[in-house]
Amino acid sequence: MTGTFNYEKDADNIVTVTMDMTGPVNAMNEEYVKLMGETVDRLEAEKDSIAGVVLTSAKSTFFAGGDIKSMLTIETKEDVQNMFDMNLLIKSQIRRLEKLGKPVVAAINGAALGGGYEICLACHHRVALDSKAVQVGLPEVSLGLLPGGGGIVRLVNKLGAERAVMPLLEGTRFNAQKALKSELVEELATDADDMMAKAKAWIKANPEACNPWDVKGYKIPGGNITRPNISQLIQGANPMLFQKTRGLIPAAVKILDVVSSALRVDFDTAQIMETRAFASLLTEPTAKNLMTFFLQMNQVNGGGSRPKGIEKSKVKKVGVLGAGMMGQGIAYVSAMAGIEVVLKDISQDAADKGKAYTEGLLKKRIEKGRMTEEKAAGVLGLINATADADALEGCDLIIEAVFENVDLKHNITKELEPKLAENGVWGSNTSTLPITLLAEPSVKPENFIGIHFFSPVDKMPLVEIIVGEKTSDETLARAFDYSQQIKKTPIVVNDSRGFFTSRVFSTYIDEGGLLIEEGLDPIVIENLGRAIGMPVGPLAVQDEVSQQLTVKANETNKELDERLGHEFAKDNAGYRLAKKMMENDRAGRFHGGGYYEYPKDGEKYIWPEVYNWYYNKDVSLPVQDIKDRLLFRQIIESLRCFEEGVMNNVADSNIGSVMGIGFPPHTGGVFQFINTYGVKAFAERLQELTEKYGERFTPTQMLLDKAEKGELFM
């Protein structure tokens, strides 16, 4: 099948151009350039006999934007020049459509993001379906790029700098209603017929339509760069950007540069400047990392790790055991997905407190206008908070979210597994305990699986699914489907202590602890943790997790070693310092303080006593060494997980590291970081760190093999 832009003229001489390119979506590639070029040629040739143009799509999405896969192949100056030329050609075609001399309306039937919305902006009017399928916006910054199809220049000219700058810098996606309120579209339609009728009615009512910036004397809303408030806006955005991106994402700065250009020069000159800025980002490592991450996210969400050939399933009734922090969050996200929830705890009071968590979150949604009271009551009504085990009868999924204790989990499995519906799935929300061990008392270990959520469950987007030795493919598929049903991104890992995320996460805390013990200033450690792109420093992370939990986890590991007949694991720095903190009644932020003091009014600050423990003003380490130690510890542990078979593929590892443990997003994830750094160079740097700081940095054999062969982690 070859793609087409279907060209159809009605009795009123209105031409409907329906984009229907090869493949599942319309995208800005060579086929698009050919089809759009032919369409614009024909429209210009026939413009005297047409009344106007409606541009719409035959796909479920309006237009998907740029061709990311082709952009990832750009390496050389010649490649960049070719893309620069292609971009100018795309812009010239859109500009010709914009200046056709006849009204052009975008009939937006689905998502129009990036290049898709840039096409819409060039039209003179926009009618969108009032549908959940519709999203509009310019989210290119999330790919390390900027809108290169005229999006920055047109949005600034349409809305003015004050209203355009944040949607551009934040890559905001607008649903249909918000797009209407923000003037990104001008009309909403109830269905496809209504959309086309409104588009054609607007054409008839506006036969001389053109975009306002093409009218002589047009002034950008709010004024240009000479207005003091606009000048201050641009200047003030720079420090705000640095605070948010820490200088690690160049695209944001480039977007601000183009916004500034659009306020200083004429429309067509600003378009060329936008193209130059776009082309300059194409070879940036950050852009390649973020584009790769985007494709791998699609791979994961598309079921890359889901067993093939098993029919999709939906959970109708889920039991959640334990109404504490994790259990109450699981109950909330399940009820929000329309699933009947039995939230069980040992007492009715504890269960009611767990349900109250959902009530509080729903109340906030109502206050923000994001949910009606009727809808919230419906969600809350799906949760049955109870101490009665019989309420679990008929659950097709039960998730236990109780304390990390093997015997406790075993007893609960023996007692409550019989309540499952026939062939029901038992899931354990454990962060460290081996699933095969937890499944020992199960009468159906093939239906037993790990479903590891992250706190807070309502905000964290990842679920780590852990496959035990006897877990069946059907059970894995059902756990995967449930994760997507509650709108989470699932990664799949194999069984081992700590799995993937907990193992890797703990190394960041441990390396921070080692740097403390070596005498470094805690503030330096924290600042460099943030400088590499982690959300917070390792000491702040430890406070959030809580020293109490770290000590308990270490004790659980020792109990496991004893149970399994293993040699006791060595105490690490994270544990040693957590124990020392506990001895000083510093159990973590939730318990009143840890490394930091948390005053009710004011910013947190380092607890002064920490300086009396290890700090030595004479100790000085190279800044790059500290940065690499904090970052590379996480990567080397990921490599070990991959080599040991805990991880099945690179995509799950990259997605899991960013979304589960906060690995710096601009890197694209743990293995994409190695690819960008250079596999051989990374192995050599690890050797240097090993010689200076110890064997924990020793490169794995898999890394050395790939370095020797010149292979990437794909």
Residue 568 has pLDDT above 80, yes or no: no
- Mean pLDDT, range 552-577, rounded to an integer: 80
Per-residue pLDDT, 446: 98
User: What does the H/E/C string look like for 446-485?
Assistant: HHEEEEEECCCCCCCCEEEEEECCCCCHHHHHHHHHHHHH
Top-confidence range, 390-399, 498-507, 576-585: 390-399
Q: Are 333 and 487 in contact (CB under 8 A)?
A: yes
Identify the DSSP state of 50: -
Collapsing DSSP states into helix, strand and coil, what is residue 316?
coil
Identify the DSSP state of 248: -
Using a CB cutoff of 8 Å and minimum separation of 24, what contacts does 186-192 make?
Answer: 186/125, 186/126, 186/127, 187/125, 187/126, 187/127, 187/128, 188/127, 188/128, 188/129, 188/130, 189/127, 189/128, 189/129, 189/130, 190/129, 190/130, 191/129, 192/109, 192/129
Residues in the chain: 714
Per-residue pLDDT, 559: 82
Confidence of residue 340 (pLDDT cuts 50, 70, 90): very high
Confidence of residue 569 (pLDDT cuts 50, 70, 90): low
Q: Is 222 left (phi over 0), alpha (psi -120 to 50) or beta?
A: left
* 432 or 200, which is more confident: 200
Residue 196 has pLDDT above 70, yes or no: yes
**Percent of the chain, pLDDT > 70?**
99
Record the tokens describing residue 47, joined without a space.
């413009």
For the stretch 655-701, pLDDT in tens is 999 999 999 999 999 999 999 999 999 999 999 999 999 999 999 99
- Rounded Cα distance between 693 and 510, Å, is 14
Among 58-67, 318-327, 503-512, 552-561, the range scoring the smallest mean pLDDT is 552-561
Q: Are 494 and 465 in contact (CB under 8 A)?
A: no
Angle at 213 between CA 212 and CA 214, to 5 degrees: 90
- What are the φ/ψ torsions at residue 227 (nearest 5 degrees)? -75, 130
What mean pLDDT, rounded, does the chain reach? Answer: 95
User: What does the H/E/C string look like for 524-582?
Assistant: HHHHHHHHCCCCCCHHHHHHHHCHHHHHHHHHHHHHHHHHHCCCCCCCCHHHHHHHHHH
- Mean pLDDT, range 456-480, rounded to an integer: 97
Residue 198 has pLDDT above 90, yes or no: yes
What is each CA distance from 394 to 315, 333, 386, 420, in whole angstroms?
11, 20, 15, 5
- Mean pLDDT, range 444-453, rounded to an integer: 98
Record the tokens describing residue 89, joined without a space.
């050609």
Collapsing DSSP states into helix, strand and coil, what is residue 320?
strand
For the stretch 403-430, pLDDT in tens is 989 999 999 999 999 999 999 999 999 9
Please name which of 140, 132, 212 lies closest in space to residue 170, comparing C-alpha atoms: 140
Helix axes 373-381, 325-336, angle to 10 degrees: 120
Written as one string, the DSSP assignment of 364-424 is HHHHTTSS-HHHHHHHHHTEEEES-GGGGTTEEEEEE---S-HHHHHHHHHHHGGGEEEEE
- All residues at 6 or more sequence positions from 311 whose CB lies less than 8 Å from its CB, including other chains: none
What is each CA distance from 599 to 484, 524, 543, in whole angstroms?
39, 21, 14
Record the tokens describing residue 239, joined without a space.
């420090």
Record the tokens describing residue 587, joined without a space.
């159990």
Confidence of residue 200 (pLDDT cuts 50, 70, 90): very high
Per-residue pLDDT, 498: 87
Q: Are 291 and 315 in contact (CB under 8 A)?
A: no
- What are the φ/ψ torsions at residue 51 (nearest 5 degrees)? -95, -25
Record the tokens describing residue 232, joined without a space.
């201050």
Cis peptide before 441 (omega within 30 of 0): no
pTM: predicted TM-score of the whole model, two decimal places: 0.93
Give the DSSP H/E element, type plus range, for residue 20. Answer: strand 14-20
Residue 555 has pLDDT above 90, yes or no: no
**Percent of the chain, pLDDT > 90?**
91
- Rounded Cα distance between 479 and 466, Å, is 10
Record the tokens describing residue 428, joined without a space.
């354990």
Q: Are 453 and 460 in contact (CB under 8 A)?
A: yes
Strand partners, 16: 8, 54
The domains located in the chain, with CATH, are: 4-283 (3.90.226.10), 317-496 (3.40.50.720), 501-633 (1.10.1040.50)
- Rounded Cα distance between 606 and 123, Å, is 55
For the stretch 283-338, pLDDT in tens is 999 999 999 999 999 999 999 999 999 999 999 999 999 999 999 999 999 999 99
Q: Are 225 and 263 in contact (CB under 8 A)?
A: yes
CA-CA-CA-CA dihedral for 625, 627, 630, 632, to nearest 10: -70
Please name which of 99, 138, 95, 487 lies closest in space to residue 269, comparing C-alpha atoms: 95
- All residues at 6 or more sequence positions from 211 whose CB lies less than 8 Å from its CB, including other chains: 98, 122, 124, 154, 157
Q: Are 467 and 477 in contact (CB under 8 A)?
A: no
- All residues at 6 or more sequence positions from 314 whose CB lies less than 8 Å from its CB, including other chains: 481, 485
- Mean pLDDT, range 370-375, rounded to an integer: 95
- Rounded Cα distance between 2 and 31, Å, is 9
Strand partners, 105: 54, 125
- Mean pLDDT, range 432-456, rounded to an integer: 96
Per-residue pLDDT, 296: 97
In the chain, the amino acid numbered 447 is N
CB atoms within 10 A of CB 602: 8
Q: Is 171 left (phi over 0), alpha (psi -120 to 50) or beta?
A: left
Residue 242 has pLDDT above 90, yes or no: no
